[in-house]
Amino acid sequence: MLSPFDASLGLEQRTLSFGPQTTSQRFAILRRYGAGFLLISLFSLLSLSLSALGPGMNALGARIFAVIFPLGMLLATIRLGLGPAIFAAVTGVVLFDYVFLPPTHAFTVPSARDGVTIAVMLATAATSTVYAERLRRQVDWTRRQADVEGLRNALLSGLSHDLRTPLTALVAAGRALHEGHLDPGELRDFSRVVFEESARLNRLVARLLELTRLESGRLTTKPGLQAIDEAIGSALYRLEKELGSRNVRTHVPEEVPLTTFDPVLVEQVMINLVENVIRHTPPDSPIEISAWRDEEDIVVEVADQGPGVPAGDEERVFEKFYRVSGNRQRDGGMGLGLTLCRAIIAAHDGRMWMNNRPEGGASVRFAIPIRRDQTMALPSPETPLPGSRS
C-alpha cells in the first residue's frame, strides 16, 4: 500500500511510532532516538574533518557545523519524526559547546556571542523542523485520501458485480413461483432461494451506506461528541443472536473520555470486528473487548482465543479481497470487512492494526484521536440548571 515515495520519506517508521504497547514498537522508538543521536554526531564529525582543511580549525568547524545543523534537523524530522529531531537538536547544541566552543572539550556556559550563535542555530532548526513536520503531515494525509478513494472504487465495482448474482437467482426463482405449476418440493426450494438470496442482497446493500458516508475519505456527517462504550454496547446488542451464549467480556473504564466520531460507522466497525471473530473462532470461544486511553488516543481492542492469523499476514489481512486461505465465506462477503474497517478508522484520522496474541488468538486494535471539537463546559454536577424540571 505504501508507494516508494512515501517509504523514502520515512512514513513507514512514523506509523510504527504510534503503535502502543508492544516491545518491538517500543524498540523501534528507541532506535529512532538512537539514529537521531548518531546523525548529529556524524554531522559534528564531518564539520570537524572539513575544518581540518583550513586554518583556525575550531572557528571554521563551528561555522560549518552551524550551517549544516538546520539541514540535519530537516533530515531528522522527515526520517525520524518530531521527538527524535528535538532530541537531536538538543544533543547538537551540547556537542557544539563541547567540541567547538572555547574552551573546547568542556561543557561551559557559552559567552554572549556564542550564545547568539546557538540561539540562531536553534531558531533555524526549529523553523525547518516545523516545516518538515507540516510537509510530512500533508503527504500522510494525501496518502490516506488516496487509500480511501481507491477503496471506494474497489468496493463499488465489487458491489455491482456481487449484486448481480443474487438478483439473477431472485428473478428466476420469482418467475417460477409466479408462473405456478410447482410441486411442493420445488415450491419449498424456490422460496428458500428467494429468502436466502434476498438476505444476501440485503447484506450487500448495507455496505452502500458505509460508502455514502465515506465520501472521498471524509465523513459526510457532523458526528458530535460520542462515547466509545456506547458504540461497543450497541454493536453487541445488535449481534445478540449471532453471539448466542458466547462469553463476551468488556473492559471500558468510566474515565475513557468522549470524542467525536460517526456513531453509525464506528458501530459498524465494531460489528464487523466481532462478526469476524464469530466467523473465525469456535462457537464457545470467548471474546474480549477493551477500550482505554493512550495519551491523546482512544484505543479499542477486540481479542479472541481462536487460531489467530497465519504468521506474517498481520498486515495483509487489511488488504482488499484478502481471505484466510481455505476459508470460504458463506455470507457473500467480498473479503472487504477489515479493509473497510480500516478505511472508516482512517477517515477518523485513526489507525488499525492486528497482532497474534502471545497467549494464542488474534487481537485487532484501532486508535482514534481524542478530539474536543465541540467545546463543552459541564455545569457542576448538581447545581440545578435553569429551565430544568424534576
- Write out the three cell numbers for 229: 462504550
Q: Which is nearer to other proteins, 33 or 292 (CB)?
A: 292
Q: Find the binder of other proteins among 63, 144, 213, 279 (CB under 8 A).
A: 213
- Decide if residue 390 touches other proteins (CB under 8 A): yes
Return the amino acid letter for 102: P
Write down the least CB distance from residue 248 to other proteins, Å: 6
> 43 or 261: whose CB is closer to other proteins?
261
Q: Which of 39, 148, 169, 232 binds other proteins (CB under 8 A)?
A: 232
- CB-based contacts of 269, cutoff 8 Å, min separation 6: 231, 341, 344, 345, 366
Please, are residues 330 and 337 in contact by the beta-carbon 8 Å criterion?
no
248 binds other proteins (CB under 8 A): yes
For position 202 contacting other proteins by CB under 8 A, the verdict is yes
Is the CB of residue 287 less than 8 Å from the CB of residue 300? no
Residue range at the interface with other proteins (CB under 8 A); choices 48-56, 123-131, 219-227, 306-314: 219-227
CB of 238 to other proteins, least distance (A): 10
Rounded to 5°, the CA angle 210-212-217 comes to: 85
- Residue 181 CB, nearest approach to other proteins (Å): 23
Part in contact with other proteins (CB under 8 A); list of ranges 243-251, 275-283, 316-324, 357-365: 243-251
Three state DSSP letters for 307-374:
CCCCCCCCCHHHCCCCCCCCCCCCCCCCCCHHHHHHHHHHHCCCEEEEEECCCCCEEEEEEEECCCCC
The reply to whether 28 sits near other proteins by the rule CB under 8 A is: no
Report residue 219: phi and psi, to 5°. Answer: -80, 140
Do residues 147 and 345 touch, judged by C-beta distance below 8 A?
A: no
Query: In this complex, which beta carbon is closest to other proteins, that of residue 24 or of residue 380?
Result: 380
For residues 69 and 124, is the Cβ–Cβ distance under 8 A?
yes
The Cα-based distances of 225 to 1, 255, 368 in angstroms read 32, 15, 13
Work out whether 312 is an interface residue with other proteins (CB under 8 A): no
Q: Which is nearer to other proteins, 325 or 380 (CB)?
A: 380
Here the cell at position 207 is: 455496505
Q: Does 95 bind other proteins (CB under 8 A)?
A: no
326 interacts with other proteins by CB under 8 A: no
53 lines the binding site for other proteins (CB under 8 A): no
Q: Can you give the binding site for other proteins, defined by CB under 8 A?
A: 202, 206, 209, 212-213, 221, 224-227, 229-234, 236-237, 248, 250-252, 254, 258, 263-264, 267, 289, 291, 374, 376, 378, 381-382, 384-390
